[in-house]
Structure 1
């Protein structure tokens, strides 16, 4: 029973993602889908997006977060509107694993 203006940014973002995934879309365009979310909820959103992609949807994700980019099968790095590098998901995941803080 809440009006949109009374929802938090994270709540609005989760609703927008849910609306975007209704109907089993064949293409998913996601611009900073985890930007307003805490890390736990962001991981949950990425799992849902990954499930849709594994089921056959094509996904294009724009993010500034390396840990979210690591979910991708292919990564394209842009600087000033130009492609500066490309990689496969495994290489980015390996890099993050190598540089992650040890607990």
Structure 2
């Protein structure tokens, strides 16, 4: 079963979101999140804490689809590189960025 397809029918009608919290929805994939973000260009507040499956390409998608994004929580997201984070900050209206990665060094 592909996890990202389960919520797709319900999310298809969401086109006016300004805030979205998916914290600890650990099975959400880029394939599931990208279409939702693309349909909501006015999204300003996004919480993707602990979405372990997301990578730099999702940050690229955020930069492309939601330029008005002003708050992003991406704590516990282990696959994002610093360069992709900087590119996202430069391409959006981010004023608040919450980042914390718990790694092997702690």
Tell me the TM-score normalised to structure 1 length: 0.42
- Structure richer in strand, relative to its length: 1
- Structure richer in helix, relative to its length: 1
Tell me the TM-score normalised to structure 2 length: 0.41
Q: Highest relative contact order (Cα 8 Å, sep 6+), 1 or 2?
A: 2
Greater Rg over alpha carbons, structure: 1
